[in-house]
Structure 1
Amino acid sequence: MIEVGALRALRAVAALGTLARAADELGFTASAVSQQIKRLERQVGVPVLAPAGRGVVLTPAGQAIVDSAPEVFHALERCAEAAQSVSDGAPRGTLRVAAFSTAIRGLFAPVLPRLAARCPDLRVELTEQDPDEALHSVGAGTADFALVHDADGLLPAPLPPSLTRRWVHTDVGDVVVSRTHPLARLDAPLAGAALAGHAWVTSPPGTVCHQWFRRLFAEAGAEPDVRHLVDDFATQLALVAAGQVVALVPRLARPPLGENLIARPLRRPPSREVHAVWRRSAEASPAIRAVLAELAEPGPATGGVAQRPLADVEAPLPAEQRAQLARHPR
């Protein structure tokens, strides 16, 4: 019979291309992964890997095994969840969570104390990963749950059939200024035209927040005066507090502003939808259900206002935002 550990090792090698990378992903040594692969080859009686340059590729037999692996892992996961659900259904064990940094700060960190109080036998392990990497981790079984965003305020990309998602939050961007800045005296929400003629600090090109910033000025028909490119939002706010620049900051990324700063909402704020993602085979997981319930409660990231009820799979953008996108294509 094929061992589960050997099957998991082969799937990691197939996804990453080398024994060393698979070992890093699984937390083993390359030698241990090699031994698992050799044991698998003895069990099935044929080679499953072939050398290819500095890496390896699957043989046809190896590919056939990898193609069948998801069914095996999903069945095992359902067995574990069934065992938990027929006991007392209490969340326990370890839940491995992958999430982008501002979701950890703005969504997960606030709920961890409540989760620890309500589920004392549940251990949550957080790993910061970009959405694409987090989706891969959940699909590959190295994470159990992920928080991802749609990056640009558009409809989320399709998921593989093995995964499911649920909307948990809509994040929007505000302009942050010092209380002595001219923008602080204007009536809110601010229109795009009011933003021209001021100096800015913004996130570097290639980030979602920089895309937000460029689109904001494209709609305003003006070229921004960018003085500083800084990836860390706390550093951005330190520069804003000096009174010379302003910043566009997502609410999830925003620490307490203190007395010298003020956030000004925009008439047409940039936004992104945040979704929770997990494997369909873990649908009955008490741990996942407990985390979803905590994320649904009002908290600091939502301004104390109850969030939209958790919908089932692939909740769309709100109707008002879809209509806005139709009137003003991005």
Structure 2
Amino acid sequence: MIDVGALRALRSVAALGTLARAAEELGFTASAVSQQIKRLEREVGVPLLAQAGRGVVLTPAGQSLADSAPEVFQALERCAEAARSVSAGAPRGVLRVAAFSTAIRGLLAPAMPSLAKQNPDLRLTITEQDPDQALHSVDAGTADLALVHDADGLPAPLPPSLTQRRLHTDVGDVVMSRAHPLAQADRPLTGADLAGQVWVTSPPGTVCHQWFRRLFADAREEPDVRHLVDDFATQLSLVAGGEVIALIPRLARPPLGAGLVARPLRRQPKREVRAAWRLSADASPAIQAVLAHLEDRLG
């Protein structure tokens, strides 16, 4: 009988390329992962890894076994979900969620108290991960549910073992001090309104920086960016001083307080937020309870 844990270790090595990275994902040492795969080699009777310089590569037999692993994991998960469904379908146990930081702040954290009250036998554990990493974690079985967003209008590639559902459209607004001249605008702001303003914005490489650059795609002059700050609460503290304004997603925005105001844009930057989970876990009462709860809150 093939050891499922060892098979998962082989699958992680195949996906991530090294024993060290697989060990980090699985929460083991590289030595422990190596021992698991050696045990798997004894069980199937053929070599699965081969030395390649200082690292390892999968043999053709190892790659074939790793390619077949998702079918095994999905079959086992379907068995488990069938048992849970028979047991009154009540959400219970631990649900491991991987999500980007804004989804944790704007979706999961506000929902958790009422979710726990309605489902006392269900416990969520949350890990902050970027969309690509979150999808990989669900595919690899180290997470059960991922909350992801598209990147520059394009959704992250979905592994064939996963399914997804759109949850929310997040948009960005310009936040400023109530004393700022634009705070009096009674209409969505245009590119002409933003010309000549002074900004704090998220660093390059982030979705919010892409949004910001798109605001000025047709501008003749570069925007005046005084500060690059990744944390939105810190951005707001700089905005409160009155010198700068900021483009901030609604999901990421804490209560503004009396001194700040948000104004919408005529061309609103948007991103789609989706939930993704394994097809084999589609009947999971825990996953369906979390999705239903989030959708109810989002209206």
The TM-score, its normalising length taken from structure 1, stands at 0.88
Aligned residues: 299
Q: Deviations over 1:227-259 (max 9, x none)?
A: 111111111101100000000000011011011
In the alignment, is residue 96 of structure 1 matched against residue 96 of structure 2?
A: yes
Measured in 2, the distance between the counterparts of 1:85 and 1:123 equals 18
Measured in 2, the distance between the counterparts of 1:220 and 1:186 equals 21
Q: Deviations over 1:139-198 (max 9, x none)?
A: 11111100000122x252552221101000000000000000011112221112101111
Shift of 1:221: 4.7
Measured in 2, the distance between the counterparts of 1:223 and 1:298 equals 40
Measured in 2, the distance between the counterparts of 1:92 and 1:157 equals 30
Q: Answer whether contact 2:111 2:297 (CA < 8 A) is retained.
A: no
> How is 1:167-182 mapped onto 2 (pairs within 5 angstroms)?
167-182=166-181
What's 1:69 paired with?
A: 69
In the alignment, is residue 159 of structure 1 matched against residue 184 of structure 2?
A: no
In the alignment, is residue 197 of structure 1 matched against residue 196 of structure 2?
A: yes
**For structure 1, which segment, 186-195 or 76-85, has the greater mean C-alpha deviation from structure 2 after superposition?**
186-195
Q: Deviations over 1:27-77 (max 9, x none)?
A: 122222122111111111111000112221000110110011000000000
SS of 1:97's partner is: strand
Q: Answer whether contact 1:97 1:144 (CA < 8 A) is retained.
A: yes
What's 1:237 paired with?
A: 236
> How is 1:48-127 mapped onto 2 (pairs within 5 angstroms)?
48-127=48-127
Distance 1:110 1:245, change over 3 A: same
Counterpart AA for 2:276: V
Measured in 1, the distance between the counterparts of 2:160 and 2:233 equals 39
SS of 1:39's partner is: helix
**For structure 1, which segment, 44-53 or 173-182, has the greater mean C-alpha deviation from structure 2 after superposition?**
44-53
Q: Deviations over 1:98-145 (max 9, x none)?
A: 000000000111111111011111111100000011111111111110
> How is 1:204-243 mapped onto 2 (pairs within 5 angstroms)?
204-243=203-242
Counterpart AA for 1:47: P
Shift of 1:93: 1.0
Q: Answer whether contact 2:131 2:156 (CA < 8 A) is retained.
A: no
SS of 2:217's partner is: helix
The TM-score, its normalising length taken from structure 2, stands at 0.97
SS of 2:179's partner is: coil
Counterpart AA for 1:171: D
What's 2:142 paired with?
A: 142
Measured in 1, the distance between the counterparts of 2:146 and 2:93 equals 17
Cα RMSD for the two superposed structures: 1.2
Gaps of 5+ in 1: 300-305, 307-330
SS of 1:218's partner is: coil
Distance 1:272 1:221, change over 3 A: farther
What's 1:282 paired with?
A: 281
Q: Deviations over 1:241-286 (max 9, x none)?
A: 0000000000011011011000001111100000000010000000
SS of 1:23's partner is: helix
Measured in 2, the distance between the counterparts of 1:222 and 1:277 equals 41
Measured in 2, the distance between the counterparts of 1:276 and 1:4 equals 26
Query: Once superposed, which parts of structure 1, at least 4 consecutive aligned residues long, lie more than 6 Å away?
Result: none
Shift of 1:24: 1.5
Q: Answer whether contact 1:196 1:223 (CA < 8 A) is retained.
A: no
Counterpart AA for 1:181: H
Distance 1:238 1:145, change over 3 A: same
Shift of 1:217: 1.2
Counterpart AA for 1:188: R
Measured in 2, the distance between the counterparts of 1:19 and 1:197 equals 52
Measured in 2, the distance between the counterparts of 1:251 and 1:151 equals 17
Distance 1:176 1:226, change over 3 A: same
What's 2:269 paired with?
A: 270
SS of 2:51's partner is: strand
What's 1:3 paired with?
A: 3
